[in-house]
Amino acid sequence: MKRLAAIAAGLLIAGVPFAVAADISLPGIFNSLKQAFTPTSQDDEIAIGRDAAATLLGASKPIADPAVQQYVNKVGLWIALQSDRPDLPWHFAVVDSDDIDAFAAPGGFVFLTRGLLLRLHNEAELAGVLGHEISHVILKHHLKALQKAARMDLVSQAAKVGMASKGYDSDLDQELMDKVSNATRNLYSKGLDKDDELAADRMGVVLAARAGYDPYGLLAVLQTLEAVDPHSSKMQLLMATHPAPADRITALSESMAAANFDRFGKLAEVDGRFNTMMKGLVENAKKAKAPAAVTKK
């Protein structure tokens, strides 16, 4: 037994210089093997995340409502500051879709659709949604899945882009973009593992509570989603990429009960400024509609 361990240790030690040497002469498989054991630097993660975010925003643009965008950035950053990664360049945005979903991309990108925002009732519910997405970033769920999908080539690619740092017009940037974009289209239309979603629910609730919000906001949102027809087009993407709301409610409520979260039930819901912001969103939609009605005539 001891001898086996010694052999294994010897192989590991011998493997290090071998992998480094191979990296220079033989890219490809050795490179991939090396990366399997190399943690991604934060810069690499941000470069990958920026390209994933660009792909997601290619499907749905940020809404042109600065007040709403600034609001979600303040709420979101306040929650992210309670996490283990407060220093990421966090970006939050509401995207222009009436369907119901939210996404995260590596490096601190968090998006939710207007359709989801319009179904929330207070800031604590928004905190639950943002907390869930922030948790995907903290736990590197998408980063790991994207690396796996792109056969772990992304890190070296991202590092090269970082070294070149010539902006988006360089060939290296384009190469990384193509790889990340392909992997993103695939991953975000299929979704993460169910366990990743449930883990993000659990962590998101704690982040919201640490930020001073009523931690039952996320459960309330899941109950709202449970009441929407799962076969409606509004729910197609969410249902294709997440466990059913009822399953998430069961798992999350049991975890919260086990940790006696009832004691945090009186934390803040914050509906005043949330409602003011939502009124503005509705009013802006009316204003945007007015000129269109004139041109029709």
Positions 272 through 291 that interact with other proteins (CB under 8 A): 273, 275, 278, 281-283, 285-286, 288-290
Question: How would you list the strands of the sheet with 109-113, edge to edge?
Answer: 91-95, 109-113, 102-105
Rounded CA-CA distance 105/171 in Å is 23
Q: Tell me the per-residue interface mask from 177 to 216 with other proteins, x by CB under 8 A, - otherwise.
A: x---x--xxx-xxx-------xx--xx-xx--xxxxxx-x
Answer yes or no: are the C-beta atoms of 235 and 225 closer than 8 Å: yes
Residues 232 to 251: which contact other proteins by CB under 8 A?
Answer: 232-234, 236-237, 240-241, 249-251
Smallest Cα–Cα separation from 249: which of 139, 128, 134, 112? 128
Answer yes or no: are the C-beta atoms of 47 and 108 closer than 8 Å: no
Residue 57 in contact with other proteins, rule: CB under 8 A: yes
Binding residue for other proteins (CB under 8 A) from 41, 165, 223, 276? 223
Residue 165 in contact with other proteins, rule: CB under 8 A: no
* 15/62 with CB nearer other proteins: 62
Residue 70 in contact with other proteins, rule: CB under 8 A: yes
Q: Which stretch binds other proteins (CB under 8 A): 7-15, 19-27, 59-67, 156-164?
A: 59-67
Binding residue for other proteins (CB under 8 A) from 62, 162, 243, 280? 62
CB atoms within 10 A of CB 171: 9
Q: Which stretch binds other proteins (CB under 8 A): 21-29, 38-46, 142-150, 270-278?
A: 270-278
Answer yes or no: are the C-beta atoms of 245 and 222 closer than 8 Å: yes
Smallest Cα–Cα separation from 235: which of 150, 113, 123? 113
Binding residue for other proteins (CB under 8 A) from 33, 54, 149, 244? 54
Answer yes or no: are the C-beta atoms of 214 and 264 closer than 8 Å: yes
DSSP code at position 60: S
Residue 102 in contact with other proteins, rule: CB under 8 A: no
Residue 19 in contact with other proteins, rule: CB under 8 A: no
* 152/278 with CB nearer other proteins: 278
Rounded CA-CA distance 271/125 in Å is 10
Residue 78 in contact with other proteins, rule: CB under 8 A: yes
3-class state of residue 169 by DSSP: coil
Answer yes or no: are the C-beta atoms of 201 and 252 closer than 8 Å: yes
Binding residue for other proteins (CB under 8 A) from 46, 47, 48, 75? 75
Residue 139 in contact with other proteins, rule: CB under 8 A: no
Q: Which DSSP helix (H) or strand (E) runs through 18? A: helix 2-25
Binding residue for other proteins (CB under 8 A) from 45, 101, 133, 153? 101
Residue 22 in contact with other proteins, rule: CB under 8 A: no
Indicate the angle between helix axes 194-210 and 245-258, nearest 10 degrees: 50
Site size with other proteins, rule: CB under 8 A: 113
Binding residue for other proteins (CB under 8 A) from 66, 171, 231, 295? 66
Rounded CA-CA distance 231/220 in Å is 21
